Amino acid sequence: MPRTMAEKILAKAAGIEEIDAGKIVMANVDLAMTHDLTGPLSVAAFKKIGENEVWDPEKIVVIFDHQVPADSLEAAQNHLIMRKFVKEQGIKNFYDVGEGVCHQVLPEKGHVVPGEVVVGTDSHTCTHGALGAFATGIGSTDMAMVFATGKLWFKVPETLKFEINGKLATNVCSKDVILNIIGQVSVDGASYQACEFGGETVSDMSVSDRMVLCNMAIEMGGKTGLVEPDEKVIKYVESRSNKNYQVFTSDEDAESLTTLHVDVTDLEPQIACPHNVDNVKPVSDVEGTPLDQIFLGSCTNGRLDDMRVAAEILKGKEVSPRVRMLVIPASREVYRNALEEGLMNIFVDAGALVCNPCCGPCLGGHVGLLGPGEVSLSTSNRNFQGRQGSPEAEVYLSSAAVAAASAIKGKITDPR
């Protein structure tokens, strides 16, 4: 019978020939990731159920990215808990402070390949569906069970496919595409569905840009984001990993597949306005909004492609004295490559503050917090009230191009 990509991957993981959407399956997990913020809860739950050894230390990845280096005694204690756990369990795939954001480091280091089931104690684990894996965020107690058994139950999701066509205009990016989609379907428009992205626009996108789409699937309620692997993905994966993999694609006549058609030919840059990700407006509607802070970074838009776009706009220009601009690469590799290309010189010369690879102000738990009444333009994925500091602050979301252009003017600006 015709099946979706998500159904095929979960069927393989469950050792079942065919499954239907809505069914509950117990699936083998191929990769489990946790980080410094949620990891200690998973470790505590793991110990509470009386387990002494994880099911497979080779399939667990621990990454410090949320509060690095430690910015409080509590954060330092969390780091100690995880370092001890890593040592006790013989977990070799451990990335301490300075390596970068988990959702960037996992694919860079070759931990994710097509056809896998990937779970992480972070909601944006769905990013890795850009490589053709079924990747999703889970709770810390669920992760304890994965640590113990290597298995987890899943309700097989239906699939909502976005067939995206049209050529994007200059300085209109994948971030604008996904914000526009979220604005159309709302924050719960794809609840517990596999959000699959296809069409000529997606085919033209880099792997980095596809990660942006899948990263924000959770912002419309999705269980995971998915893109069918093509030559770009295979080249990326094989250059970074020696793991075996299996490519799955969706059958067009699969019963649980619903397709929405999206034309981006005339799309202009999009802005998610306070305090919800689906409060999306074209940049022309909010252009001129005064800003206090610009944040270029996060697991959504802290990659090398984003750094290049922003640097091209900022080259020879200066950040407005009315704003502060934080540039935070998503990983050490991104940082190094940006250094080699001279992008960091452009940012520093323009007056931006370059920080170490980490989540930064995205979660409101580290550098770059907003004070009462301040307004931020951020390339991250969430703008909930109080998300980046004071509940009296406001956060707008945009692409790297809009962020760079707005940094020069000190107000929301159309980069075109």
Query: pLDDT digit string (tens) for 287-333?
Result: 999 999 999 999 999 999 999 999 999 999 999 999 999 999 999 99
Name the pLDDT band for 358 (thresholds 50, 70, 90).
confident
- Contact (Cβ atoms closer than 8 angstroms) between residue 102 and residue 120: yes
Average pLDDT of the chain to the nearest whole number: 94
Per-residue model confidence (pLDDT) at position 126: 95
- Contact (Cβ atoms closer than 8 angstroms) between residue 167 and residue 258: no
Amino acid at 266: D
- Contact (Cβ atoms closer than 8 angstroms) between residue 113 and residue 129: no
Tokens, residue 254: 């699969």
Rounded CA-CA distance 308/265 in Å is 23
Residue with tokens 């979220």: 182
Per-residue model confidence (pLDDT) at position 284: 96
Residue with tokens 């497979």: 56
Judging by DSSP bridges, how do beta strands 117-120 and 31-35 pair with one another? parallel
Name the pLDDT band for 50 (thresholds 50, 70, 90).
confident
Q: What is the mean pLDDT of residues 276-288?
A: 96
Assess whether pLDDT exceeds 90 at residue 256: no
Per-residue model confidence (pLDDT) at position 295: 95
Per-residue model confidence (pLDDT) at position 362: 80
- Contact (Cβ atoms closer than 8 angstroms) between residue 116 and residue 31: yes
- Contact (Cβ atoms closer than 8 angstroms) between residue 240 and residue 107: yes
Q: What is the mean pLDDT of residues 242-268?
A: 92
Dihedral of the CA atoms 342, 344, 350, 355 (nearest 10)?
180
Inter-CA distances, 309 with 172, 195, 304, 312, Å: 11, 27, 9, 5
Assess whether pLDDT exceeds 80 at residue 366: no
Assess whether pLDDT exceeds 90 at residue 268: yes
Nearest of 410, 389, 199 to residue 291 by alpha carbon: 410
Q: Percent of the chain scored above 90 by pLDDT? A: 85
Give 114's DSSP letter.
Answer: T
DSSP letter string over 284-295?
HHHTT-B-SEEE
Q: Where are the alpha helices (DSSP H) in 298-394?
A: 298-301, 304-314, 332-340, 343-350
Helix (H) or strand (E) holding 224: strand 224-226
Q: Where are the alpha helices (DSSP H) in 16-72?
A: 39-48
Assess whether pLDDT exceeds 90 at residue 285: yes
Per-residue model confidence (pLDDT) at position 293: 96
Cα atoms in the 13 Å half-sphere on the side-chain side of 271: 26
Rounded CA-CA distance 22/38 in Å is 29
Q: Which domains are seen in the chain, by residue range?
A: 5-262 (3.30.499.10), 271-409 (3.30.499.10)
Burial class (CB in 10 A: 0-12, 13-18, 19+), 351: middle
CB-CB neighbours of 188 under 10 Å? 11
Q: Is the peptide bond before 275 cis (omega within 30 degrees of 0)?
A: yes
User: Cα 28 from chain centroid?
Assistant: 23
Range scoring the smallest mean pLDDT among 6-15, 251-260, 395-404: 251-260
